[in-house]
Structure formats: structure tokens, C-alpha cells
Amino acid sequence: MRVLLGVTGGIAAYKVALVARALAEDGHDVRVVPTAASLNFVGRATWEALTGNPATSDTFADVPSVQHVRLGQRADAILVAPATADFLAQFAHGEARDLLGNALLVATCPIVVAPAMHTEMWRNPATQANVVTLRERGVTVLEPAVGRLTGADSGPGRLPDPEKVVAALYAAVDGAADGVTVGAVDDGGGWGDLGGLTVLVTAGGTREPIDPVRYLGNRSSGHQGFALAEAARERGAAVELIAANVSLPSSEGVARTDVETTADLADAVARLAPTADVVIMAAAVADFRPRTATTHKLKKSDDGITLDLEKTEDILAGLVATRPQGQTVVGFAAETGDASASAAEHASAKARRKRADLLVFNEVGVDRGFGNRPNDVRLLNPAGEDVGHAAGSKLAVAHAILDAVVALRRGGAVTPAK
């Protein structure tokens, strides 16, 4: 199961490292959300090393993936240990001052809180009233253990032993949902909404050789495709990226294959698409290639030259026609208007022709749509109807496209965030 482990600012945080390790060893996908104060006791590196997941505290980290909402939604169980008196007060009042507070307000899963503080603080009527409030709302608040506290004093206020804290969490989960197997990861999904899925993204633009030094190419920079790969990775997917002539670095954790021509791209797609859950064809693929590329450099001629071009294979059309059941296919269309139709009309006709689940359309021009600039796209369904709009940085647009993919896969309406 996905366990969100909140760590607040008390000395007992060091004992919670053993809790994190025990949960990870039991096969759970643990995500630690430390408060800023707790980092005085145990650093982020410890949590990340023990769990293999990022340990973020800040509500404004990773804003495009709406982490402050997603963490609470995705958690199967939440444990807060140690829980300070201040944390209990904040939680009882429903405050969302940091990432942990936000996650708790969103969560509907079982929540266990393990207080640890000095005896006087624990016995303080304000703290006791907060404990009563939380218990009335269904939160499991553990009784602190009795014994030696920091300094010379002793009494109730110690964090229970790590194994007792883990056992209390399992008991709360078992009690909340009969039959939950607490020893295993539930659905194989990670913390993101693409957890457990494989996403294949093509990016960049193919080049077709004319001779050893020249090629037919296009102006695609690969930025939008790379942003899609990065966003899908952030949302928990295993990501395969096929990069056609892109000099950008790809994000950590993304498996990259570099290609040059349309034929190379088609081969890589044929190899990787059958096992992908989502295929996003963001690459600008050449429609024609020289029938034969000469092995010598073409010489200038006063008469000009004529290139004999043949059509390339339509990779997207092939994908849609042969895709395995359950695969979601997304195409792109960069269009300009002309005498026969507007850019939007061309895009709508293309959506009907290509039959991809989504066609991402943007209107391009000499200064529009290319490079690392904000993007502005419309999403079209296979009937060519406009089902959404996304604008902003290429990463923000990538997340909006993935929102639409997630909505489609859940069988819902496509209503992108922006």
C-alpha cells in the first residue's frame, strides 16, 4: 500500500527512521512528508534513502503535478510520527500550512497519529481537547509510552517503539477495510496518477538524408515531447522516450532511444509500443523522404536540382490500427491556415482521419509554437471535436495533456485543468 509518513519536529523523529525502514521492508511504497521543523532532527536524505521516494515539505514544490492534493488522494494510509503538540493543534483545526497539512485535509484513508512530547504538554487541556477532537473524527491517536524523556524528566510522552507504531498502523488499516493485505503493495501504482503505467513518448523531428551532408528536416525542437516525458515520470509512469535529433538532456529515470530518420523512429515505435499503456506521438515526422540518398555530395548545378521524394509510413495511423486493447494513443497536429481552411478546420479533419484518442493541436507560424516558449494547444477527440484547451509552459501543457489522458483512461470526460 502507499503509506504517507508525516514527520513533525520532535526529537523522536530519529526513531521514525526505523518505522520508515520497516514499512519499506514490508513492501509498502512509503512517501515521507517531513515538516520544516522536523528537518532539524532528521534530514531529507535519510528519508529519501530509506524509502526511495522524494521527501518534500513544501506545498509549492512540483506545483504542476498538484502534489498537495495528489499525495492525500493517493495515500492508502497516513501515519504521523512523531506528532508534536503543535501538530495536534494544527491538525485538530484543519490547518493547511504546509504539504503535510494539505495532504491530511484531502485524505480519506485511515490516519494514525503517534504523539511524542513532554508530559506537561501532553497533559495540557488544550492538547487533550485536540486529541479528543481528532479521535471523534476517526483518527487513531496512539497513547504515548511512559518513561524517560529528553533531559532528566520522565512520564508519559515517549514515542512507542517503532514496531508498535507499525503494528498500530496495520491494525488501523485492517480495521478500516476488511481483507486489505497489509503486507503487499496494493495496485502496483506509485504516488502519481500514472503509477504502474508505461508511457511511450516520441519527440523531436525526423531527418531524411539527401546526401552525406544534407537532409530534409523540420523545426521541431523536442521541448514539448521532453516535457511530456518529464511530466509522465513525475506522475509515476515508467517512461520510454524516443528522441529524433534532439540535443536536450532527458530527465532522470526516463529511458531514452535516439533516432534520426522516420524509418528509425518507426522501428523504435514498433519495438516499444506493444508494451506501452499510453503512446504519445509528439515527434514531427517527415512525410516524404528522398527515394535514394546519394553516397556522394550533390554538386551545385545552374539548372537547380529536382529531388525525387517518396512517402514515408504513417506511424500514428499504424499505431491506431494495430494497438493492443486498452492502449491510449495521443497524436499531435501543428497546423497553419491556408486558402482552403483554417488551422482549426485542418486539425479537426486530421483528428477524424487519424482516430487517435486525443489529438493535440497547435497553430504554428514562423514565431509560434516552436522552441522553449509557452505553448497554447487545443485537444480534439476522434470526432474532431474540441474537448479542451491548455496554455502555459511546455511542462504545464504536458500536465494538462496527461490530465486528459488520465481522465480518458478512467472512462471520464476529458476536461483538462486549463
Instruction: Provide the annotated active-site residues.
Output: 218
In sequence order, the 6+-apart residues with CB closer than 8 A to the CB of 352 are 382, 383, 384
Q: Where are the alpha helices (DSSP H) in 235-382?
A: 262-272, 315-322, 343-354
- Does residue 314 belong to the site contacting ligand CTP (CB under 6 A)? yes
100 or 334, CB closer to ligand CTP?
334
Query: What is the C-alpha separation between 144 and 158, in angstroms, rounded?
Result: 5
50 or 360, CB closer to ligand CTP?
360
Position 177: which residue type?
Answer: A
Residue 87 CA neighbour count, 13 Å, CB half: 28
Query: What is the C-alpha separation between 33 and 204, in angstroms, rounded?
Result: 37
- For the window 251-270, what string marks contact with ligand CTP as x by the rule CB under 6 A? -----------x--------
Contact residue for ligand CTP among 285, 320, 405, 414 (CB under 6 A): 285
5 or 259, CB closer to ligand CTP?
259
Among the listed residues 392, 401, 267, the one whose alpha carbon sits nearest the alpha carbon of residue 332: 401
Grid cell 506528532 — which residue? 83
Strands 208-211 and 328-335, bridge-based pairing: unpaired
At its nearest, how many Å lie between ligand CTP and the CB of residue 313? 6
- Does residue 312 belong to the site contacting ligand CTP (CB under 6 A)? yes
Contact residue for ligand CTP among 75, 92, 238, 283 (CB under 6 A): 283
Region of 100-108, 278-286, 361-369, 385-393 interacting with ligand CTP (CB under 6 A): 278-286
At its nearest, how many Å lie between ligand CTP and the CB of residue 401? 12
At its nearest, how many Å lie between ligand CTP and the CB of residue 387? 17
Grid cell 485536540 — which residue? 130
- Does residue 224 belong to the site contacting ligand CTP (CB under 6 A)? no
82 or 369, CB closer to ligand CTP?
369
Contact residue for ligand CTP among 62, 260, 287, 345 (CB under 6 A): 287
106 or 364, CB closer to ligand CTP?
364
CB-based contact 7:36 (threshold 8 Å): no
Query: What is the C-alpha separation between 226 and 224, in angstroms, rounded?
Result: 5
Question: Footprint of ligand CTP on residues 122-141 (CB under 6 A)?
Answer: none
At its nearest, how many Å lie between ligand CTP and the CB of residue 281? 4
At its nearest, how many Å lie between ligand CTP and the CB of residue 404? 15
Q: Which residues pair with 332 in a beta bridge?
A: 360
Position 180: which residue type?
Answer: V
Query: What is the C-alpha separation between 95 and 92, in angstroms, rounded?
Result: 8
Region of 60-68, 140-148, 277-285, 397-405 interacting with ligand CTP (CB under 6 A): 277-285
Region of 6-14, 221-229, 307-315, 401-409 interacting with ligand CTP (CB under 6 A): 307-315
At its nearest, how many Å lie between ligand CTP and the CB of residue 333? 4
Query: What is the C-alpha separation between 248 and 258, in angstroms, rounded?
Result: 11
At its nearest, how many Å lie between ligand CTP and the CB of residue 359? 8
The size of the interface with ligand CTP (CB under 6 A), counted in residues, is 13
- Does residue 332 belong to the site contacting ligand CTP (CB under 6 A)? yes
Query: What is the C-alpha separation between 186 and 191, in angstroms, rounded?
Result: 12
Position 19: which residue type?
Answer: V
What distance lies between CA 290 and its chain's CA centroid? 40
174 or 386, CB closer to ligand CTP?
386
- Does residue 331 belong to the site contacting ligand CTP (CB under 6 A)? yes
CA distances from 223 to 202, 371, 374 (A): 11, 6, 10
Grid cell 511546455 — which residue? 394
Query: What is the C-alpha separation between 12 and 248, in angstroms, rounded?
Result: 44
At its nearest, how many Å lie between ligand CTP and the CB of residue 70? 28
Among the listed residues 399, 326, 219, 315, the one whose alpha carbon sits nearest the alpha carbon of residue 379: 399
- Does residue 85 belong to the site contacting ligand CTP (CB under 6 A)? no
- Does residue 315 belong to the site contacting ligand CTP (CB under 6 A)? yes
89 or 216, CB closer to ligand CTP?
216
Q: Which residues pair with 79 in a beta bridge?
A: 5, 112
Using CB under 6 A as the criterion, which residues of the chain lie in contact with ligand CTP when the complex forms? 262, 281, 283, 285, 287, 312, 314-316, 331-334
